[in-house]
């Protein structure tokens, strides 16, 4: 039986076997109780029902004997997520490292204190005053109207969405579920040393940003959820269950409580969501729903503004601490950027995230190419090739990051070619669309 490092009750290990991603997590066992990893076949047993230490140990032994013999005799490792989209088997990275926490030394945390006046001047203005912000109601049928009129607006919404494909709804639900797990993302940002909100109402510009960013983000899930509900095209009970599971599962972006890593991660992620929502907007327009197109486009514009804020922070870090910032970018890219909803589960499909991502890839909403494009965009935006004054380590990170996008593309091409030769199309049922099957 192998020991796996534990953190916060999540037994963190990913194994890949014959293309199957095995996610192992426990939400109800204490870290000291769980030292064993499990294959996905049983993972959800543990997430849905209480488990005693004895049961847990016995099952560990059973599984170790019966199911685990295929596992590699490697050292324990942290999550290895497949994104860019799980259909992509790109691996342009060095072996994964053991998980670290609080990796930013105290003296470097001071940098963020010193940057506070800068953040007030350059980051906070990227928030929109509440009274200039759109709200979900801007795009939704008005329930304050007399019932007939309200009902006509709902009918019109259903008329507009009726030609959109089931695939489109799978992607839109996946996007909505991702947005709806917002508590996890606020928690992640508030776990970053030096920028966290110490008391819940901290006047530090970092904390002011995080709270207001959360409030802006909160509208995204609300709007998409209500629109999906009114469309009648998706099984809301299954969608809600997925959100419930996902918030309970959390995420591990590999940011080590380190704001350097955290802001590289959020810069990348905000751009990824900008790209994805922009593409769902385009597809809605092509599919005959201009209102849905407008609302997805409006969400995308928020993401772009957020991306701008986080990218500015990294830009500033590159100015005040070029080597530290460059190494943080190298570190995150080496780990690969994990998608925030990678632990999604609907109670039925243990490979739900992989399947949703495959549909997103096929629809062109978020693809392996997008991953490389985002990296390339950020390398350009941060002018990484031109950064000077780096130490040897910093230069190595610079070389690595600046050469990575073409490398990812090349590996992706080869992986696609292999997949084309080997993979037979297969269909998967999605509970979100009433168990209809989609060919992947």
Q: Closest Cα partner for 378 from 323, 325, 329?
A: 329
CB of 179 vs Fe ion, minimal distance in Å = 5
Site track 252-291 with Fe ion (rule: CB under 5 A), x = hit: ------------------x--x------------------
Of the candidate spans 46-54, 217-225, 410-418, 423-431, the one that interacts with Fe ion by CB under 5 A turns out to be 217-225
Question: Shortest Cβ contact with Fe ion: which residue?
Answer: 220
CA angle 383-389-392, nearest 5°?
A: 100
CB of 251 vs Fe ion, minimal distance in Å = 14
**Which of 217, 252, 256, 289 is in the footprint of Fe ion by CB under 5 A?**
217
As a whole number of angstroms, the distance between CA 433 and CA 145 comes to: 30
Site track 86-125 with Fe ion (rule: CB under 5 A), x = hit: ----------------------------------------
As a whole number of angstroms, the distance between CA 440 and CA 430 comes to: 11
Catalytic residue, from 15, 167, 175, 179: name it: 179
As a whole number of angstroms, the distance between CA 108 and CA 41 comes to: 43
Catalytic residue, from 12, 216, 217, 307: name it: 217
Helix (H, G, I), strand (E, B) or coil at 118: helix
Catalytic residue, from 81, 220, 277, 355: name it: 220
**Which of 220, 316, 342, 351 is in the footprint of Fe ion by CB under 5 A?**
220
Instruction: Return phi, psi of residue 52, to 5°.
Output: -90, 165
Q: Is 134 a catalytic residue?
A: yes
Interface of this chain with Fe ion, residues 287 to 346, rule: CB under 5 A: 303, 306
As a whole number of angstroms, the distance between CA 249 and CA 262 comes to: 19
Compare residues 220 and 312 and give the one whose CB is closer to Fe ion.
220
Query: Can you read off the two tokens belonging to residue 250?
Result: 């959390």
Catalytic residue, from 161, 178, 273, 367: name it: 273
Q: Closest Cα partner for 355 from 18, 86, 172?
A: 86
Compare residues 197 and 303 and give the one whose CB is closer to Fe ion.
303
Residue matched to tokens 């790209």? 275
Compare residues 77 and 306 and give the one whose CB is closer to Fe ion.
306
Compare residues 23 and 224 and give the one whose CB is closer to Fe ion.
224
Compare residues 305 and 395 and give the one whose CB is closer to Fe ion.
305
Q: Is 273 a catalytic residue?
A: yes
Checking 411-418 for CB contacts under 8 A at 24+ apart, the result is 411/90, 411/91, 411/92, 412/84, 412/88, 412/90, 412/368, 412/369, 412/372, 415/88, 415/89, 415/90, 416/88, 418/89
Q: Is 101 a catalytic residue?
A: no
As a whole number of angstroms, the distance between CA 64 and CA 123 comes to: 50
Question: Does residue number 197 form part of the binding site for Fe ion (CB under 5 A)?
Answer: no
Active site residues: 134, 179, 217, 220, 270, 273, 302-303, 306
Q: Which residues bind Fe ion (CB under 5 A)?
A: 179, 217, 220, 270, 273, 303, 306
């Amino acid at each position: 039986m192998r020991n796996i490092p534990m953190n916060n009750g999540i037994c963190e290990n990913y194994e890949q076997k014959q293309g199957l991603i095995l996610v192992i997590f426990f939400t109800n066992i204490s870290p000291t109780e769980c030292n064993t990893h499990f294959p996905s076949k049983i993972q959800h047993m543990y997430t849905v029902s209480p488990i005693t230490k004895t049961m847990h140990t016995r099952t560990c032994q059973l599984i170790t004997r019966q199911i685990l013999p295929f596992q590699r005799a490697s050292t324990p490792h942290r999550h290895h997520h497949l994104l860019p989209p799980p259909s992509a088997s790109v691996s342009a990275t060095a072996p994964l490292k053991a998980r670290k926490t609080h990796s930013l030394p105290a003296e470097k945390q001071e940098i963020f204190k010193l940057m506070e006046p800068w953040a007030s001047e350059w980051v906070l203005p990227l928030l929109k005053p509440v009274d200039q912000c759109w709200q979900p109601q801007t795009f939704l049928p008005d329930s304050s109207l007399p019932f007939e009129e309200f009902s006509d607006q709902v009918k019109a919404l259903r008329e507009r969405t009726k030609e959109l494909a089931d695939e489109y709804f799978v992607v839109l639900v996946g996007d909505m579920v991702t947005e709806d797990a917002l508590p996890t993302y606020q928690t992640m940002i508030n776990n970053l040393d030096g920028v966290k909100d110490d008391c819940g109402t901290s006047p530090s510009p970092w904390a002011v940003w995080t709270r207001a960013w959360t409030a802006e983000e909160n509208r995204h899930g609300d709007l998409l959820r209500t629109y999906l509900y009114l469309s009648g095209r998706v099984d809301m009970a299954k969608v809600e269950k997925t959100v419930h599971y996902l918030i309970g599962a959390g995420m591990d972006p590999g940011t080590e409580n380190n704001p350097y890593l955290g802001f590289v991660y959020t810069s990348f992620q905000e751009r990824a969501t900008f790209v994805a929502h922009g593409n769902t907007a385009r597809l809605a327009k092509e599919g005959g729903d201009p209102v849905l197109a407008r609302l997805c486009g409006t969400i995308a514009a928020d993401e772009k503004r957020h991306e701008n804020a986080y990218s500015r922070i990294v830009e500033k870090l590159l100015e005040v601490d070029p080597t530290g910032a460059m190494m943080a970018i190298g570190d995150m890219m080496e780990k690969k950027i994990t998608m925030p909803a990678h632990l999604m589960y609907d109670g039925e499909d243990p490979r739900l995230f992989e399947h949703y991502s495959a549909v997103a890839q096929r629809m062109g909403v978020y693809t392996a190419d997008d991953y490389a494009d985002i990296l390339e965009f950020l390398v350009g935006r941060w002018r990484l090739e031109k950064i000077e004054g780096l130490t040897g380590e910093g230069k190595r990170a610079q070389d690595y990051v600046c050469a990575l996008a073409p490398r990812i593309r090349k590996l992706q091409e080869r992986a696609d070619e292999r997949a084309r030769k080997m993979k037979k199309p297969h269909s998967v049922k999605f509970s979100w669309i009433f168990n209809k099957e989609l060919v992947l």
